Amino acid sequence: MINGSLPVRFCEKFSSRIGEKYVVHTKDYKWENGINYIPVYMVPFL
């Protein structure tokens, strides 16, 4: 991840416009700070 606080700051700023939060990355699935970090191979299931 480029910067761990960047997704959190983005979500705080635009919280009224965001429902579910997803970040697509190359590692295993994890859920942290209300954000779903999903691996690339799970994108078709969104």
pLDDT in tens, 3-38: 567 878 888 889 899 888 888 999 999 998 788 899
> Per the structure block, which two tokens stand in for 20?
């579910």
Range of the domain at 31: 5-45
Claim: this prediction has a pTM higher than 0.85: no
Total count of domains within the chain: 1
Look-up: residue for tokens 């700051």?
A: 9
| Residues in contact with 28: Cβ distance below 8 Å, sequence separation at least 6, in sequence order | 39
Instruction: Return d(Cα 9, Cα 41) in angstroms, integer.
Output: 26
At residue 1 the predicted structure's pLDDT band, cuts being 50, 70 and 90, is very low
H or E element that contains 12: helix 5-13
| pLDDT score at 3 | 58
